[in-house]
Amino acid sequence: MRAIFKLIRLPNLIIIALTLYAFRYLVVKPYYGMSGTEFQMDSISYSLMVIVTMLIAVAGYVSNDYYDLEIDKVNRPDRPAVSGKIDHSTLPSIAGAFSLLAIVGMIVLSLRMQSFWPMPVLLLALITVWWYARYLKKSLFLGNLAVSFMSSLTLGMAWLFEWLMLNKADIHIYETKPLSRIAIGIVVFAFMLSLIREIIKDLEDMEGDRQNNCQSIPIVKGIAFTRNLIYSLTILLFILLVIGQLGLTTLYFPMVVLWLIPAVQLPLLFFTIKLRKAAGKESYHRLSTLIKWIMVGGIASMAIIWINFRM
């Protein structure tokens, strides 16, 4: 059972579900409550969207494990397919089964919502995870961008579907712009952190990537260039966070502004200090883990938004 959980990346799936439900119930619901507006996506449809998103993620994880066998023998020897706990030859069938279930879920979701959009949006996500596993992973920078977009746009998709349903029903709640701005802010934050983490993982995985002709940034451009790129992205993220905090101040979310300082900005500063001293696989792995915890700190800001609404 542990091998199966590891294959499907269970902790990542839990984070996906918690993030989507946190946005719905900690951000959108209290905002709707101010005007008495009801959710346009009912609970079953929203849960189905969450399940389809998780199925797409699993299809991507399993297909990655299939195509990355030789790379993982060096970089991730504990992966179930590498260690022999799961037969490597069965992975395409497993990924295909999850993909098929996801497609069925997309069709049902579009029918339930009586909307065309869920099907192509989610199908594009499914195609992207397969394309990444088969081709983009070994390419220069495109793989990093693909993973970052997929990681960040999940939440944007949730608000997009709700927003489309609001417009379809011709419901005009008082100023939907703040919700859209919050959703966009979270998407940009998640994208930037995911991109930084993906580049850090390239540094961590250099040995196996080099042996398998991957065109990752540190292999093609060198470690010094990669470090400078990470520093530049971190500085940009700092600037965007400050802009976001100024915007949250105008939306009367002072607690969120204060929360982001110890939960995100100070850890990012610590990250840059540790990056300067990092050398070797283990230190880069620790930095990758730190970025993951910073993501959790950012996601937790949705709970602070809920507290702000209650005050």
Whole-model pTM: value is: 0.92
Between vectors from CA 236 to CA 196 and to CA 230, what angle results, nearest 5°? 35
16-75 pLDDT, tens digit each: 999 999 999 999 998 888 777 888 899 999 999 999 999 999 999 999 999 988 888 888
Looking up tokens 């029918």 gives 111
Whole-number average pLDDT of the chain = 90
Q: What is the pLDDT of residue 136?
A: 86
Q: Is 33 exposed, middle or buried (0-12, 13-18, 19+ CB in 10 A)?
A: exposed
From 279, 288, 193, 202, select the one nearest 234 (Cα to Cα): 193
Q: What is the pLDDT of residue 59?
A: 96
Say how far apart CA 93 and CA 43 lie, in whole Å: 31
% of the chain at pLDDT higher than 90: 55
Alpha helices (H) along 135-222: 142-168, 177-204, 206-211, 217-221
Domains: count for the chain: 1
- The answer for 80, left when phi > 0, alpha when psi is -120 to 50, beta otherwise, is alpha
Q: What is the pLDDT of residue 156?
A: 86
Q: What is the pLDDT of residue 308?
A: 84
Count other C-beta atoms under 10 Å from residue 81's C-beta.
24
Q: What is the DSSP letter of 114?
A: T
Contact 174, 251 (CB under 8 A): no
Amino acid present at 117: W
Domain containing residue 282 = 2-310
Q: What is the pLDDT of residue 20?
A: 94
Two tokens at 261?
């300082």
From 58, 51, 52, select the one nearest 12 (Cα to Cα): 58
85-106 pLDDT, tens digit each: 899 999 999 999 999 999 999 9
Through-space distance between the first and last CA atoms of the chain, rounded to whole angstroms: 44
Q: Which residue has the higher pLDDT, 76 or 263?
A: 263
For the stretch 54-77, what's the b/e string if a residue is b when 16 or more beta carbons lie within 10 angstroms of its beta carbon?
A: bbbbbbbbbbbbbbbeebbbbbbe
Integer angstrom CA distances of residue 244 from 72, 181, 184, 234, 294: 38, 9, 10, 15, 16
DSSP 12-37: HHHHHHHHHHHIIIIIIHHHHHTTTP
185-209 pLDDT, tens digit each: 889 999 999 999 999 999 998 988 8
Say how far apart CA 209 and CA 226 lie, in whole Å: 15
218-245 pLDDT, tens digit each: 999 999 999 999 999 999 999 999 999 9
